[in-house]
Structure 1
Amino acid sequence: MIKAYSANAYQVEKAAASISTCQTDYPALKIRLTELKLEADDYAATAKNLELELDKQLERLKQVYRQLQESMSALLSQRASQRKKQKEARQQYDKALQSALQSWFSTINKAESRDMEVETALQNQDPETLQEERTQLLQIRGSLENLLANKDFRTAVEKLKDIEADDKHSQQAQQLKRDIERQSKQVSSLLDRLTIALQQLYSQRQWLKQQASSGQAQQSHCLACGHSMPEGEFCLHCGAPQPQQLDCQHCGHRYPLSRHLSALWPPPQALYCPACGKQYTPWPPQASIIELSDKIQ
């Protein structure tokens, strides 16, 4: 009985000691609990701030992404526009090159045709009075033949015909195009001079023919300068155009050219001789000759 009481007393003392210890530690534990609550609140506030900052950063990223998409779209549109412009420029340049080649071959064909006319004109036996006109015609014809016979003169055309399509925008192609245009101008200038010289020979030949048939020189006076001159399409002294007279190539009939046809040359329709009714192609009127003279001066 005494042992049991002693054991219970021991347990009571032990419990009292524990209670005393708890009473002693309680304030510190309460303070620690308060500190933990404050730390938890700080962590919650920090987490909230981090969440808000992450939301802001996410919104910025979305905005940057939208701007990047807009920039990429604008860049793609700009590149597409540039490619379209480059394609159009390439097509226009190709047309310009083709036009230069066509102009060149047209000039060559014109030169060959005019050379045949000169050859036909020089086959006639003319008197010594026309030697100056024949000499001038031969000199211009020789200059034109020498120009066309020059190998370097056709080099640009041959190179441009053989050039690769991808290189048509190169500096070499542009230089070849300029060379062709320059050469075409040189040939055209000589052709204009050849036309004037040939017309002068025809005019003088016609005047001598009329003089021989009438037995005397048919003199007239220039409407612009008043100098005495044989009948012709333009004054041999000042070059002013004279009243236009056309000669039929078939029957030789001479008649004045209608004023409305003189203003439109070449005529919009065929011309027919009023005497024999045959169609023919007269030489350009005197106004065209004066224009040619102005071009080569």
Structure 2
Amino acid sequence: MTGFASEQGAGLEHDWTWDLRSVNGKGLDLRLRVPDLTGLEAGLRKAVAQVAARGNIQLSLKLTRQGGSDTLRVNPEALAAALNALNEVNKAATGQGLAMAPSTPAEILTLRGVLEQGPAAPATPDGLVPLLLADAERVLAQFHAMRCAEGAELGRIIAGQIDRIDELTDEAETRAQARRPEAAEALRTALARVMEATPGADQDRIAQELALLAVKADITEEIDRLRAHITAARALLADPGPVGRKFEFLAQEFVRETNTLCSKSNDSALTRIGLDLKYVIDQMREQIQNVE
């Protein structure tokens, strides 16, 4: 389920900015980009787990000291690149018989990017981590409220799709009942055709085979299971807890029963209903990916 929240705070001579966002995910994948402060990451993971059970979630915290002076510091990546370049120059010069004077540390520091200016690393006064964890509740509440609002809207969409599945299941049952006289007549015609083509054949045995075919073509069990799945889906929608994974499994069962219904239909009208069912179920499966 998607969500976003951003908050700013200040305290103990520090300023900070929270950024929290999530996208769909099968499980809870929490990625933190926060300062390396003892107890901060563990506390944030515990707090996020209390409001989210699913999704790829990214939480970042930018922390600065109020009035912190800028300091000079060495950029490790730029230093490594500069040293590699100097080494290549020395090798090339040696290959040409040229002697190069060794570079001094002061000269290396003058190379572009090796020495940079930036804010001093913030100190960690006592009480900063508890203050940050307490302030994180604000951004988590905003994040949770957004996800709840989206979940409520998704619930209405999925409820409408379940209602449509229910309607199509009724249509399938009605069509299945209406075609029974046609199916019975087709079996009698088939029996007469077989008996005419094979004089002396065992009529009872042929009738049994045709009856077996009729039983295999019956979709009563599929209709009953679809109705059971509809009841289970509505119960999941009413459940206040995380139901996304359960809904995914149930959607697979919807697909299974609909596929069987189509394979048994042997009737263009019933096949059309089955295809409509598959279309709505596929739409529902897409929405379920967003459900926690």
- Bigger radius of gyration among the two: 1
Looking at secondary structure, tell me which structure has more strand per residue.
Answer: 2
**Greater RCO structure (CA 8 Å; 6+ sep):** 2
Looking at secondary structure, tell me which structure has more helix per residue.
Answer: 1
TM-score by length of 1: 0.29
TM-score by length of 2: 0.30
